């Protein structure tokens, strides 16, 4: 049995992983489960899967979690340090699915122990890509991408002959506002933004998909995951979300991974790697799809993608600044404090104002993250 820990077990990625575990009981032994606030769901997951440890990030929920798991034999802990310790526990596979920059320290904790990490937390690589990849090399850990796009690339990328790769092409659905005018997007509501046309995801990532920031973050992530340079990265809009990404080779061949838009496919691939396991996803019927479209992204209506390109090229602390400002702006939009178009505006202004120092340690990342959040929060207050 493969020993598995899930960091962020109550989110959309975590619950999809739980569904796969439930269908493959004899294949997995659950070690540690963590959650941020949803103490009830954490307790249910831990009991159902007989996890050895359950950790809640919010220490105020410790007693509630302890009560829920009383008599189960499951160890209980709370707080940020406890989550890092849970990530470091001996396991064959650690699924890193904590949303946002909060996932950085726990992910690094697992990497330092040389674990195989299924990375669904793109912000970790965005904020500290060089630091993470250097730690992977030093510890002998392995990163398996769980994002559908990077997972697709991983499946068709020739790691033995990277010199034969001409380009990586990330596909994007275009989100719910793909055909909206700027004027229409100005009055877009959070309910409209989170209604993704193809994928079922959490609120934050759904808004990122609507602004195309999600694809920008994925560009930065791809740069660190695969041995390519910035000029070998490209993005194309693909509304059907059937082709999850492509790799172009120097002989003109383009290899793609196709599938129904269901996150259980890439999660299953990572969980079972290097084998494959059955996943209860709708089977792709190309005759039913009938048509596959590919379009250039509109950088005027969706400036967030261009901002991510700029941050990637600038390097240093720019990606961490981009991510922090975006997290603040998206949260403010979901709370109804700013408009949809204000998200990219706040990120742009923060990138202009924050000095880009080098990122050498986790502490460096935290300082940049905090400075960017303070500036972005001030901008939100001015617009509100």
**271: in domain:** no
> The domain spanning residue 239 has which CATH number?
1.10.1740.10
Distances 98 to 14, 105, 261, 310, 345 between C-alpha atoms, Å: 9, 10, 21, 26, 26
State yes or no: pLDDT of 100 exceeds 80: no
Cis peptide before 30 (omega within 30 of 0): no
Report percent pLDDT > 90 for the chain: 90
**Shared-domain flag, residues 138 and 11:** yes
Instruction: Tally the domains of the chain.
Output: 2
Give, in degrees to the nearest 5, the angle at Cα 240 between 220 and 265: 65
**79: in domain:** yes
**68: in domain:** yes
The sheet that has 53-56: what strands, in order across it? 75-78, 53-56, 28-35, 2-7, 93-96, 116-119, 142-145
When computed from its CA atoms, the radius of gyration of the chain, rounded to whole angstroms, is: 20
**28: in domain:** yes
**Shared-domain flag, residues 99 and 204:** no
Mean of the per-residue pLDDT values of the chain: 95
pTM listed for this prediction: 0.91
**Shared-domain flag, residues 138 and 251:** no
**150: in domain:** no
**284: in domain:** no
pLDDT (tens digit per residue) in 66-89: 999 999 999 999 999 999 999 999
Provide the residue range defining the domain that includes 348: 169-261+297-383
pLDDT (tens digit per residue) in 202-214: 788 899 999 999 9
pLDDT (tens digit per residue) in 283-321: 999 999 999 999 999 999 999 999 999 999 999 899 999
Backbone angles phi, psi at 378, to 5 degrees: -65, -40
**Shared-domain flag, residues 353 and 223:** yes
> Looking up tokens 């996803």, which residue turns up?
281
């Amino acid at each position: 049995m493969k020993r598995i820990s899930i960091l962020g077990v109550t989110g959309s990625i975590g619950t999809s992983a739980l569904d796969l575990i439930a269908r493959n009981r004899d294949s997995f032994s659950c070690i540690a489960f963590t959650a941020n606030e949803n103490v009830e769901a954490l307790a249910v997951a831990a009991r159902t899967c007989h996890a050895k440890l359950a950790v809640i990030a919010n220490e105020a929920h410790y007693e509630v979690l302890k009560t829920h798991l009383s008599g189960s034999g499951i160890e209980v802990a709370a707080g940020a340090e406890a989550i890092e310790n849970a990530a470091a526990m001996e396991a064959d596979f650690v699924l890193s699915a904590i949303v946002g920059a909060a996932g950085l320290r726990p992910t690094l904790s697992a990497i330092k122990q040389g674990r195989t990490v299924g990375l669904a937390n793109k912000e970790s690589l965005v904020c500290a890509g060089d630091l993470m990849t250097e730690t992977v090399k030093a510890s002998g850990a392995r990163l398996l991408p769980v994002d559908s796009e990077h997972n697709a690339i991983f499946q068709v990328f020739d790691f033995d002959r990277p010199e034969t790769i001409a380009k990586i092409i990330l596909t994007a659905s275009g989100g719910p506002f793909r055909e909206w005018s700027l004027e229409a997007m100005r009055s877009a509501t959070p309910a409209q933004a989170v209604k993704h046309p193809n994928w079922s995801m959490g609120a934050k990532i759904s808004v990122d998909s609507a602004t195309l920031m999600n694809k920008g973050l994925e560009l930065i992530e791809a740069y660190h995951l695969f041995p390519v340079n910035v000029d070998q990265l490209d993005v194309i809009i693909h509304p059907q979300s059937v082709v999850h990404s492509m790799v172009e080779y120097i002989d003109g061949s383009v290899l793609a991974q196709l599938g129904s838009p269901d996150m259980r496919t890439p999660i299953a691939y990572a969980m079972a790697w290097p084998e494959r396991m059955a996943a209860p996803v709708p089977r792709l019927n190309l005759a039913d799809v009938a048509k596959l479209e590919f379009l250039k992204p509109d950088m005027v209506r969706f400036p967030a993608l261009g901002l991510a390109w700029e941050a990637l090229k600038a390097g240093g602390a720019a990606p961490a600044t981009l991510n922090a400002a975006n997290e603040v702006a998206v949260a403010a939009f979901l709370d109804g404090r700013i408009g949809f178009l204000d998200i990219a505006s706040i990120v742009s202004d923060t990138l202009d104002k924050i000095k880009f120092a080098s990122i050498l340690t986790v502490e460096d990342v935290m300082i940049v993250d905090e400075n960017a959040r303070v500036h972005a929060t001030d901008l939100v207050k001015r617009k509100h």
